Amino acid sequence: MLVSPSGPTRPERVARGIELLTGWGLRPVLAPHVYARHGYLAGADALRAADLNTAFADPQVRGVICTRGGYGAQRVVDAIDMAAVRRNPKVVAGFSDITALQLALWRGARLAGVHGPGAAWRDERTPLASAASLHAALTTTEPVTVPAVEREETFAVRVPGRAVGRLLGGNLCLIVASLGTADMPDLTGAVLLLEDVQEPPYKVDRMLTQLRRAGALDGLAGVAVGQFTDCADGWEVGVADVLTERLGDLGVPVLGGLPIGHGPEQLTVPVGTRATLDADAGILTVAPAVR
């Protein structure tokens, strides 16, 4: 089922997503309020929560694909029927603001998700490789392997070593916004996934510093650094410099340059499953979310 838990979406972009999903042999169904609008939200909180609960309660729905991120998921996560989620687990796919939803589902039901493009599809940003990656994560039980690539600005962010742990996280802003809530996961022994968009280096510094001061990064196994897209300002310090400084002294392996996030050719990874981060080889391998 296609849902819009955060910002309003465009029907023409969702139409392209439906075309892709149908081509994979899936049967996409629109949630009742998927195109609702209420300012910067995809409808009132009650409507967005109702669509999520409808999807989780329907045994014929095998997956939930969010149309897009934006803002608003944190406003509805406390209304999710976690008992229904636990009774009939199904994969939830999305990224950006959907990190808040995936963190809540992990807290409330230990539900693994999929960090990848939403159904409001844009071919110019997510071409064939992105589609193939999402398809594999949604429909196969094979591990997902993502190599670091030199074109990514964060490619130089690296601390050698190998880490094994559960991959948790996603969008940096939403992780930081979860501090102090029940949804902030215990990251002890975890591989933390980080990505973001349109956040200047000083704000990335501020968010990482807050995580450090809160003790949230204590006991990490490793850090997987994805795309930090359009994260530049007029200062000579770049986002890769900030990431290297704020993550490089944690005493754990760090692998940057992963094409996971808001940038072009975004790839999909499960979150909430076991991962192996090999910073020496430049590869992140993640167990499937689909069983």
Angstrom distances, CA of residue 237 to CA of 83, 152, 245, 254: 47, 17, 11, 20
Phi and psi at residue 102, to the nearest 5°:
-65, -35
Q: Does the annotation count 262 as an active-site position?
A: yes
Catalytic residue chosen out of the listed positions 33, 115, 135, 262: 262
What is the phi/psi pair of residue 67, to 5°?
-70, -40
Report the run of H or E that residue 171 belongs to, with start and end: strand 162-171
Catalytic residue among 152, 153, 195, 199: 195
Token code pair at residue 6: 């955060």
Q: Of 96, 130, 133, 178, which one is the catalytic site residue?
A: 96
Q: How far is CA 111 from CA 18, 60, 275, 290, in A?
A: 24, 18, 16, 11
115 tagged catalytic? no
Longest dimension (CA), the chain: 53
**SS3 labels along 218-279:** CCCCEEEEEEEECCCCCCCCCHHHHHHHHHCCCCCCEECCCCCCCCCCCCCEEECCEEEEEC
3-state secondary structure of 184: coil
Determine contact, residues 275/164, Cβ cutoff 8 Å. yes
Give the integer Cα–Cα distance in Å for 264 and 245: 25
> For the chain, how many helices (H) and strands (E)?
8, 13
Which residues are the active-site residues?
Answer: 96, 195, 262
